[in-house]
Amino acid sequence: MTDLYHEARKRQKELEKLESTLKARLAKAPPGKIHVFMNGKYVMYYLRNSSSERTGTYISVHDEPKIRTYLQKSYDEKLLKLVQSELLRLKPLLSEEKDGRTQIQDLYSSFPEKARKFLKPADFPDDTYIRLWLARPYQAKEISASPHSFTSLNGDHVRSKSELNIANALFHLKVPYKYECPLTLSGGIVIYPDFTVLNVKNRKILYWEHRGMMEDREYAAQSVERVKEYEKNGMFPGDNLILTEETLRHPLGTEEISHVIRHYLLSG
Protein backbone atom coordinates (compact mmCIF):
# COMPACT_ATOMS: atom_id res chain seq x y z
CA MET A 1 0.00 0.00 0.00
CA THR A 2 2.73 2.44 1.00
CA ASP A 3 4.69 1.75 -2.22
CA LEU A 4 1.60 2.51 -4.27
CA TYR A 5 1.10 5.84 -2.55
CA HIS A 6 4.81 6.65 -2.88
CA GLU A 7 4.69 6.03 -6.63
CA ALA A 8 1.49 8.09 -6.86
CA ARG A 9 3.13 11.04 -5.09
CA LYS A 10 6.19 10.72 -7.30
CA ARG A 11 4.01 10.68 -10.41
CA GLN A 12 2.05 13.69 -9.14
CA LYS A 13 5.25 15.72 -8.78
CA GLU A 14 6.39 14.72 -12.27
CA LEU A 15 3.04 15.74 -13.74
CA GLU A 16 2.91 19.03 -11.84
CA LYS A 17 6.38 19.91 -13.11
CA LEU A 18 5.37 19.03 -16.66
CA GLU A 19 2.14 21.00 -16.31
CA SER A 20 4.10 24.07 -15.23
CA THR A 21 6.51 23.69 -18.16
CA LEU A 22 3.70 23.32 -20.68
CA LYS A 23 1.80 26.33 -19.36
CA ALA A 24 4.92 28.49 -19.57
CA ARG A 25 5.66 27.31 -23.10
CA LEU A 26 2.09 27.85 -24.28
CA ALA A 27 2.04 31.35 -22.78
CA LYS A 28 4.86 32.26 -25.19
CA ALA A 29 3.33 30.51 -28.22
CA PRO A 30 1.96 32.66 -31.07
CA PRO A 31 -1.80 32.96 -31.60
CA GLY A 32 -3.65 30.63 -33.95
CA LYS A 33 -3.80 26.88 -34.51
CA ILE A 34 -2.35 24.63 -37.14
CA HIS A 35 -4.60 22.40 -39.22
CA VAL A 36 -2.97 19.29 -40.70
CA PHE A 37 -4.44 16.93 -43.24
CA MET A 38 -3.32 14.42 -45.83
CA ASN A 39 -3.80 15.17 -49.51
CA GLY A 40 -2.93 11.86 -51.08
CA LYS A 41 0.65 11.16 -50.10
CA TYR A 42 1.32 14.79 -49.17
CA VAL A 43 0.88 16.45 -45.78
CA MET A 44 -0.57 19.96 -45.95
CA TYR A 45 -0.53 22.63 -43.24
CA TYR A 46 -2.89 25.57 -42.72
CA LEU A 47 -2.90 28.26 -40.04
CA ARG A 48 -6.26 29.13 -38.56
CA ASN A 49 -6.45 32.36 -36.57
CA SER A 50 -10.00 31.75 -35.35
CA SER A 51 -12.29 28.77 -34.81
CA SER A 52 -14.67 30.09 -37.48
CA GLU A 53 -12.11 29.60 -40.26
CA ARG A 54 -12.85 26.50 -42.30
CA THR A 55 -9.50 26.18 -44.03
CA GLY A 56 -7.04 28.88 -43.01
CA THR A 57 -3.86 30.26 -44.54
CA TYR A 58 -1.63 27.77 -46.32
CA ILE A 59 1.83 27.24 -44.82
CA SER A 60 4.50 26.19 -47.28
CA VAL A 61 6.29 22.94 -46.40
CA HIS A 62 9.50 24.93 -46.80
CA ASP A 63 8.56 27.16 -43.85
CA GLU A 64 9.79 24.60 -41.33
CA PRO A 65 10.23 27.02 -38.37
CA LYS A 66 6.55 28.04 -38.52
CA ILE A 67 5.36 24.45 -38.95
CA ARG A 68 7.53 23.30 -36.08
CA THR A 69 6.29 26.11 -33.82
CA TYR A 70 2.60 25.48 -34.44
CA LEU A 71 2.84 21.68 -34.38
CA GLN A 72 4.60 21.91 -31.01
CA LYS A 73 1.89 24.24 -29.76
CA SER A 74 -0.78 21.77 -30.86
CA TYR A 75 1.05 18.90 -29.20
CA ASP A 76 1.56 20.88 -25.98
CA GLU A 77 -2.12 21.83 -25.77
CA LYS A 78 -3.23 18.21 -26.13
CA LEU A 79 -0.56 17.00 -23.72
CA LEU A 80 -1.59 19.58 -21.12
CA LYS A 81 -5.16 18.26 -21.18
CA LEU A 82 -3.90 14.70 -20.65
CA VAL A 83 -1.62 15.78 -17.80
CA GLN A 84 -4.39 17.68 -16.05
CA SER A 85 -6.76 14.76 -16.50
CA GLU A 86 -4.28 12.36 -14.88
CA LEU A 87 -3.68 14.79 -12.00
CA LEU A 88 -7.42 14.83 -11.34
CA ARG A 89 -7.49 11.03 -11.24
CA LEU A 90 -4.57 10.95 -8.78
CA LYS A 91 -6.16 13.43 -6.40
CA PRO A 92 -8.68 11.02 -4.76
CA LEU A 93 -6.00 8.33 -4.33
CA LEU A 94 -3.61 10.70 -2.56
CA SER A 95 -6.44 12.03 -0.44
CA GLU A 96 -7.20 8.44 0.61
CA GLU A 97 -3.56 7.90 1.51
CA LYS A 98 -3.61 10.57 4.20
CA ASP A 99 -6.65 9.09 5.91
CA GLY A 100 -5.81 5.43 5.37
CA ARG A 101 -2.16 5.57 6.32
CA THR A 102 -2.81 7.77 9.37
CA GLN A 103 -5.41 5.31 10.64
CA ILE A 104 -3.00 2.38 10.21
CA GLN A 105 -0.25 4.25 12.05
CA ASP A 106 -2.57 5.42 14.82
CA LEU A 107 -3.80 1.89 15.41
CA TYR A 108 -0.45 1.02 17.01
CA SER A 109 -0.63 4.07 19.27
CA SER A 110 -4.14 3.13 20.40
CA PHE A 111 -2.74 0.19 22.41
CA PRO A 112 -1.37 0.86 25.92
CA GLU A 113 2.32 1.71 25.80
CA LYS A 114 3.37 -1.32 27.85
CA ALA A 115 1.38 -3.62 25.58
CA ARG A 116 3.01 -2.38 22.37
CA LYS A 117 6.16 -4.43 22.93
CA PHE A 118 4.13 -7.55 22.10
CA LEU A 119 3.00 -6.18 18.72
CA LYS A 120 4.53 -6.40 15.26
CA PRO A 121 2.88 -3.39 13.64
CA ALA A 122 2.63 -2.90 9.89
CA ASP A 123 3.51 0.78 10.29
CA PHE A 124 4.33 3.29 13.02
CA PRO A 125 3.57 6.98 13.42
CA ASP A 126 6.58 9.00 12.27
CA ASP A 127 7.79 9.97 15.76
CA THR A 128 7.69 6.35 16.95
CA TYR A 129 9.44 5.12 13.80
CA ILE A 130 12.21 7.70 14.22
CA ARG A 131 12.65 6.93 17.92
CA LEU A 132 12.92 3.18 17.32
CA TRP A 133 15.33 3.64 14.39
CA LEU A 134 17.62 5.90 16.38
CA ALA A 135 17.45 3.59 19.40
CA ARG A 136 19.10 0.68 17.58
CA PRO A 137 22.58 0.53 19.11
CA TYR A 138 25.72 0.63 16.99
CA GLN A 139 29.45 0.96 17.51
CA ALA A 140 30.83 3.85 15.50
CA LYS A 141 34.46 4.21 14.48
CA GLU A 142 36.43 5.60 17.34
CA ILE A 143 37.08 9.33 17.22
CA SER A 144 38.08 11.33 20.24
CA ALA A 145 37.41 14.95 20.96
CA SER A 146 40.51 16.86 19.89
CA PRO A 147 41.57 20.08 18.18
CA HIS A 148 41.24 18.15 14.91
CA SER A 149 37.64 17.05 15.46
CA PHE A 150 34.40 19.02 15.50
CA THR A 151 31.34 18.64 17.71
CA SER A 152 27.96 18.86 15.99
CA LEU A 153 24.78 20.34 17.43
CA ASN A 154 23.63 16.76 18.01
CA GLY A 155 26.74 16.05 20.09
CA ASP A 156 28.59 13.93 17.53
CA HIS A 157 32.34 14.22 17.09
CA VAL A 158 32.99 14.46 13.34
CA ARG A 159 36.21 14.56 11.35
CA SER A 160 35.92 17.66 9.17
CA LYS A 161 34.29 21.07 8.89
CA SER A 162 32.21 19.89 5.94
CA GLU A 163 30.94 16.87 7.90
CA LEU A 164 30.10 19.28 10.72
CA ASN A 165 28.06 21.40 8.29
CA ILE A 166 26.24 18.30 7.01
CA ALA A 167 25.50 17.05 10.54
CA ASN A 168 24.23 20.46 11.65
CA ALA A 169 22.05 20.84 8.54
CA LEU A 170 20.52 17.40 9.17
CA PHE A 171 19.89 18.40 12.77
CA HIS A 172 18.27 21.73 11.83
CA LEU A 173 16.03 20.07 9.23
CA LYS A 174 15.09 17.30 11.69
CA VAL A 175 16.43 14.48 9.52
CA PRO A 176 17.35 11.40 11.61
CA TYR A 177 20.94 10.30 11.05
CA LYS A 178 23.73 8.16 12.45
CA TYR A 179 27.37 9.16 12.08
CA GLU A 180 29.77 6.43 10.93
CA CYS A 181 27.34 3.61 11.67
CA PRO A 182 28.87 0.28 10.52
CA LEU A 183 27.47 -1.33 7.39
CA THR A 184 28.29 -4.93 6.51
CA LEU A 185 28.73 -5.62 2.81
CA SER A 186 28.95 -8.94 0.98
CA GLY A 187 31.91 -11.03 2.00
CA GLY A 188 31.69 -9.72 5.55
CA ILE A 189 33.38 -6.43 4.69
CA VAL A 190 32.46 -3.73 7.22
CA ILE A 191 32.52 -0.09 6.15
CA TYR A 192 31.51 3.09 7.94
CA PRO A 193 29.47 5.46 5.76
CA ASP A 194 29.92 9.06 6.82
CA PHE A 195 26.19 9.34 7.49
CA THR A 196 23.38 6.81 7.54
CA VAL A 197 20.24 8.88 7.02
CA LEU A 198 16.51 8.25 7.03
CA ASN A 199 13.87 9.59 4.66
CA VAL A 200 10.98 9.38 7.12
CA LYS A 201 8.22 9.89 4.55
CA ASN A 202 9.40 6.94 2.46
CA ARG A 203 10.76 4.87 5.36
CA LYS A 204 13.95 4.67 3.31
CA ILE A 205 17.52 4.39 4.58
CA LEU A 206 20.23 6.09 2.52
CA TYR A 207 24.00 6.31 2.89
CA TRP A 208 25.81 9.63 2.52
CA GLU A 209 29.48 9.74 1.63
CA HIS A 210 31.25 13.08 1.55
CA ARG A 211 34.43 13.04 -0.51
CA GLY A 212 36.47 15.93 0.79
CA MET A 213 39.86 15.75 -0.90
CA MET A 214 39.11 15.01 -4.53
CA GLU A 215 42.21 16.85 -5.74
CA ASP A 216 44.28 14.11 -4.05
CA ARG A 217 44.72 11.33 -6.63
CA GLU A 218 45.09 8.50 -4.14
CA TYR A 219 42.08 9.67 -2.13
CA ALA A 220 40.01 10.03 -5.34
CA ALA A 221 40.99 6.51 -6.46
CA GLN A 222 39.97 5.07 -3.09
CA SER A 223 36.67 6.96 -3.31
CA VAL A 224 35.94 5.41 -6.71
CA GLU A 225 36.68 1.94 -5.30
CA ARG A 226 34.37 2.66 -2.38
CA VAL A 227 31.49 3.59 -4.69
CA LYS A 228 32.04 0.42 -6.71
CA GLU A 229 31.75 -1.61 -3.49
CA TYR A 230 28.46 0.11 -2.73
CA GLU A 231 27.18 -0.65 -6.23
CA LYS A 232 28.10 -4.34 -5.90
CA ASN A 233 25.83 -4.39 -2.86
CA GLY A 234 22.84 -2.74 -4.52
CA MET A 235 23.45 0.85 -3.41
CA PHE A 236 23.64 3.36 -6.25
CA PRO A 237 24.29 7.10 -6.46
CA GLY A 238 21.05 8.99 -6.93
CA ASP A 239 19.01 6.21 -5.34
CA ASN A 240 20.07 5.06 -1.87
CA LEU A 241 23.59 6.46 -2.01
CA ILE A 242 24.23 10.21 -1.68
CA LEU A 243 27.59 11.56 -2.81
CA THR A 244 28.90 15.04 -2.17
CA GLU A 245 32.44 16.14 -2.92
CA GLU A 246 34.75 19.09 -2.78
CA THR A 247 38.27 20.33 -3.49
CA LEU A 248 40.23 23.18 -1.96
CA ARG A 249 39.13 25.41 -4.84
CA HIS A 250 35.51 24.23 -4.73
CA PRO A 251 34.41 23.66 -1.12
CA LEU A 252 31.05 22.17 -0.20
CA GLY A 253 28.63 25.02 0.53
CA THR A 254 25.82 25.07 3.08
CA GLU A 255 23.29 25.90 0.36
CA GLU A 256 24.36 22.82 -1.61
CA ILE A 257 24.00 20.68 1.53
CA SER A 258 20.49 22.02 2.07
CA HIS A 259 19.50 21.26 -1.54
CA VAL A 260 20.81 17.69 -1.23
CA ILE A 261 18.91 17.09 2.02
CA ARG A 262 15.66 18.46 0.66
CA HIS A 263 15.96 16.44 -2.54
CA TYR A 264 16.83 13.06 -1.03
CA LEU A 265 15.51 13.14 2.51
CA LEU A 266 12.55 15.50 2.78
CA SER A 267 10.71 14.61 -0.43
CA GLY A 268 7.93 12.07 -0.59
Q: pLDDT tens for residues 193-211? A: 999 999 998 889 999 999 9
Mean pLDDT along residues 214-220: 93
Residue whose C-alpha is closest to residue 164's, from 154, 174, 173: 154
Q: What is the mean pLDDT of the chain?
A: 89
Delimit the domains of the chain by residue range. Answer: 2-109, 129-264
pLDDT at site 111: 84
Mean pLDDT along residues 43-64: 90
Has residue 83 got a pLDDT over 90?
A: yes
- With residues binned 3-state (H G I as helix, E B as strand, rest as coil), the percentages for the chain, rounded to 5, are 50, 20, 35
Whether this model's pTM surpasses 0.75: no
Q: Do residues 167 and 197 lie in contact, with contact meaning Cβ atoms separated by under 8 Å?
A: no
| Structure confidence at residue 1 as a pLDDT band (50, 70, 90) | very low
Has residue 96 got a pLDDT over 60?
A: yes
CATH, domain range 129-264:
3.40.1350
Pick the more confident residue, 246 or 124.
246
Report the distance separating Cα 229 and Cα 209, nearest Å: 13
pLDDT at site 97: 56
Q: Which residues pair with 209 in a beta bridge?
A: 243
Has residue 124 got a pLDDT over 60?
A: yes
**166-177 per-residue burial string, b: 16 or more CB within 10 A, e: under 16:** bbbbbbeeebbb
Has residue 102 got a pLDDT over 80?
A: no
